[in-house]
């Protein structure tokens, strides 16, 4: 008889039918009972799955597993998003549990890793929750960007303002009892007759409720003069819809005084990215592990030569031309075989169609609930008119229906927004991988750095001939190395040995850390 520990998890926004802890527990217990699996322990968690820094997982489950790992065969969850919503962390912990002789699996989304192709399915199950999180985050950012374009401040207000709802029900900045002190602050600083510390001390004595650091920071807050920093940064601003406390002229006069007292005329500019050093910020020293810097020196002939080098006492120093050429060769070694790409897209198509079908069912159910609530609200209004319901009772019912309807509308909107053409993005990504070196060489320095950062999240190390990286992009490694592993398994006809996610090193590629 196999022995298992059960793990149930929700976060605050997931406390709905189908995700509650009791439902998960009932499902897992029924699953174990039907398969003659002995339950050794059950853990319930109310925490986000964006990381594994969870109190129950770290403080209760792991200590039990470490002390009883020889008597545990399985760790079961209902779905993979109950385990994690971050593919990188999820794979790390799956490897760790496997090293303890424990298989992690999801009862509604089981994956048999004895079949190599099922790794594609596992990659999807682990990636899908993370993608949904990213989509929600992107929608939030889009909403915030739209609000900024309308002249609304979308973050925490500074001293002198409070966030309140306007007539349309949207948040806006409203002056509070500290606003007069803010106005006086700018006026006194603009005279140039008092130091910042003297102005702050003078106003605090009169009732100003700001610490010294808060006072200094507030002096460069643009909304005070009616401007909202736009989506392009400080170079563009939007006229705010709120009431300004000072004029633009006074605000910029204060900025000039601040710069003069700092002993400089201009705000420092960001360090420019130099085309001859596209790898700067993406290379670690192979000896000490610190980030390499880049600079150029002039030779005896007057020609300048670029180098990537360590400034932490190591003697690592490589010509930039040599390293830049080597990274192009390395990217050219990434190869996606047509049969691997075709298999991956076929699997993803089946999974996406199944998920879209579930999404459509959920949308239909939510639409029905919304219509039903609207009908109830109409009937309640009719009863109020006919005298069958008093105004107080109608108010309670109406508010209850409206709150419930608003919640359903938000959930319905999430379902509609999250439905996107994943396959198109998959095909685009595969196309990029097949021409990675060409795309890289044809990009500007910013584009090259984005490519390197997305493929090698833990940077590269170069020993003079070969590149190494601690953890490449999981999707890239799976697609580029999947067929090689499948072919090897067919030849050996053996069971899986070692971690099912261990990277297959291609020519010129070694992991910095042992697998």
State the Cα–Cα distance between residues 489 and 286, nearest whole angstrom. Answer: 33
pLDDT, residue 32, reads 94
What CATH superfamily is the domain 3-136?
A: Resolvase, N-terminal catalytic domain (3.40.50.1390)
pLDDT, residue 77, reads 93
> Strand locations in 161-291, DSSP E?
161-165, 171-175, 227-230, 233-239, 283-284
Residue 466 reports pLDDT greater than 70: yes
pLDDT digits (tens, 9 = 90+) for 205-219: 999 988 988 998 899
pLDDT, residue 508, reads 40
Residue 17 reports pLDDT greater than 70: no
| pLDDT greater at residue 443 or residue 413 | 443
pLDDT, residue 488, reads 54
pLDDT, residue 28, reads 93
Residue 85 reports pLDDT greater than 90: no
User: Which pLDDT band holds residue 471 (cuts at 50, 70, 90)?
Assistant: low
pLDDT, residue 456, reads 81
Residue that is written with structure tokens 């009791």 in the block: 22
Q: What CATH number is given for 161-261 in this structure?
A: 3.90.1750.20
State the Cα–Cα distance between residues 9 and 21, nearest whole angstrom. Answer: 7
User: Which pLDDT band holds residue 29 (cuts at 50, 70, 90)?
Assistant: very high
| pLDDT greater at residue 510 or residue 1 | 1
Cα-Cα-Cα-Cα torsion 205, 208, 213, 218, nearest 10 degrees, comes to: -140
Ranges of H-type helices in 175-211: 179-191, 196-205
Residue 278 reports pLDDT greater than 80: yes
**Across 136-149, average pLDDT:** 75
Residue that is written with structure tokens 């190494």 in the block: 468
pLDDT, residue 120, reads 77
**Across 232-242, average pLDDT:** 66
From the CB of residue 420, how many other CB atoms can be counted at a distance below 10 Å?
11
Ranges of H-type helices in 35-150: 55-56, 62-68, 80-83, 87-99, 118-149
pLDDT, residue 377, reads 76
Most confident of 62-66, 381-385, 419-423, 468-472: 62-66
**Across 189-213, average pLDDT:** 89
State the Cα–Cα distance between residues 163 and 140, nearest whole angstrom. Answer: 18
Mean pLDDT for the chain overall: 79
Q: Which residues contact 361 (CB under 8 A, 6 or more apart)?
A: none
pLDDT digits (tens, 9 = 90+) for 337-360: 777 777 777 777 777 777 777 777
pLDDT, residue 433, reads 73
pLDDT, residue 33, reads 92
**Across 4-24, average pLDDT:** 75
Instruction: Record the tokens describing residue 505, joined without a space.
Output: 């090193």
Phi–psi pair at 403, nearest 5 degrees: -60, -45
User: Which pLDDT band holds residue 179 (cuts at 50, 70, 90)?
Assistant: very high
Helices 338-386, 391-418: crossing angle, 10 deg rounding: 170
pLDDT, residue 489, reads 47
pLDDT, residue 266, reads 39
pLDDT digits (tens, 9 = 90+) for 50-65: 889 999 999 999 999 9
pLDDT, residue 421, reads 59
pLDDT, residue 464, reads 86
| pLDDT greater at residue 7 or residue 478 | 7
pLDDT, residue 97, reads 93
Instruction: Record the tokens describing residue 419, joined without a space.
Output: 């439905």
Q: Which residues pair with 318 in a beta bridge?
A: 308
Cα-Cα-Cα-Cα torsion 413, 415, 417, 418, nearest 10 degrees, comes to: 160
């Amino acid at each position: 008889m196999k022995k298992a520990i059960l793990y149930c998890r929700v976060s605050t926004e997931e406390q709905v039918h189908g995700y509650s802890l009791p439902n998960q527990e009932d499902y897992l217990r029924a699953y174990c009972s039907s398969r003659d699996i002995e339950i050794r322990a059950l853990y319930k968690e109310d925490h986000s799955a964006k990381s594994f820094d969870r109190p129950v997982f770290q403080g209760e489950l792991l200590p039990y597993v470490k002390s009883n790992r020889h008597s545990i065969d399985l760790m079961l969850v209902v779905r993979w998003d109950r385990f994690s919503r971050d593919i990188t962390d999820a794979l790390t912990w799956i490897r760790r549990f496997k090293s303890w002789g424990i298989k992690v699996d999801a009862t509604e989304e089981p994956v048999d890793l004895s079949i190599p192709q099922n790794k594609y399915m596992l990659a999807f199950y682990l990636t899908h929750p993370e993608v949904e999180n990213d989509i929600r985050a992107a929608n939030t950012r889009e909403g915030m960007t739209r609000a900024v374009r309308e002249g609304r401040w979308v973050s925490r207000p500074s001293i002198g303002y409070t966030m309140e709802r306007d007539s349309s029900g949207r948040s806006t900045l409203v002056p509070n009892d500290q606003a007069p002190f803010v106005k006086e602050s700018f006026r006194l600083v603009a005279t140039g007759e008092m130091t910042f510390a003297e102005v702050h001390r003078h106003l605090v004595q009169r009732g100003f409720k700001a610490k010294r650091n808060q006072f200094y920071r507030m002096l460069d807050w643009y909304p005070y003069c009616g401007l909202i920093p736009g989506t392009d940064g400080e170079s563009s601003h939007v006229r705010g819809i709120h009431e300004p406390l000072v004029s633009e002229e006074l605000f910029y006069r204060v900025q000039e005084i601040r710069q003069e007292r700092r002993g400089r005329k201009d705000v420092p500019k960001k360090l420019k990215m130099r085309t001859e050093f596209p790898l700067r910020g993406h290379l670690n020293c192979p000896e000490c592990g610190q980030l390499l810097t880049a600079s150029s020196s002039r030779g005896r002939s007057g020609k300048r030569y670029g180098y990537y080098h360590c400034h932490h006492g190591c003697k690592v120093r490589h010509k930039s031309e040599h390293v830049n050429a080597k990274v192009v060769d390395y990217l050219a070694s990434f190869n996606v075989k047509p049969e691997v790409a075709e298999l991956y897209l076929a699997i993803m198509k089946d999974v996406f169609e199944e998920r879209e079908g579930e999404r459509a069912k959920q949308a239909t159910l939510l639409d029905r609930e919304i219509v039903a609530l609207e009908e109830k609200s109409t009937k309640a209004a009719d009863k109020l008119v006919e005298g069958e319901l008093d105004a107080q009772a109608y108010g309670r019912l109406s508010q209850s229906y409206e709150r419930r309807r608003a919640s359903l509308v938000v959930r319905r909107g999430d379902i509609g927004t999250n439905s996107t053409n994943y396959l198109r993005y998959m095909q685009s990504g595969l196309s990029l991988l097949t021409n990675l070196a060409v795309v890289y060489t044809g990009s500007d320095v910013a584009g090259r750095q984005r490519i390197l950062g997305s493929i090698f999240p833990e940077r590269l190390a170069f020993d003079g001939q070969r590149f190494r990286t601690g953890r490449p992009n999981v999707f890239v490694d799976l697609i580029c190395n999947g067929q090689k592993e499948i072919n090897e398994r067919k030849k050996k006809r053996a069971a899986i040995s070692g971690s099912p996610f261990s990277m297959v090193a291609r020519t010129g590629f070694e992991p910095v850390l042992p697998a």
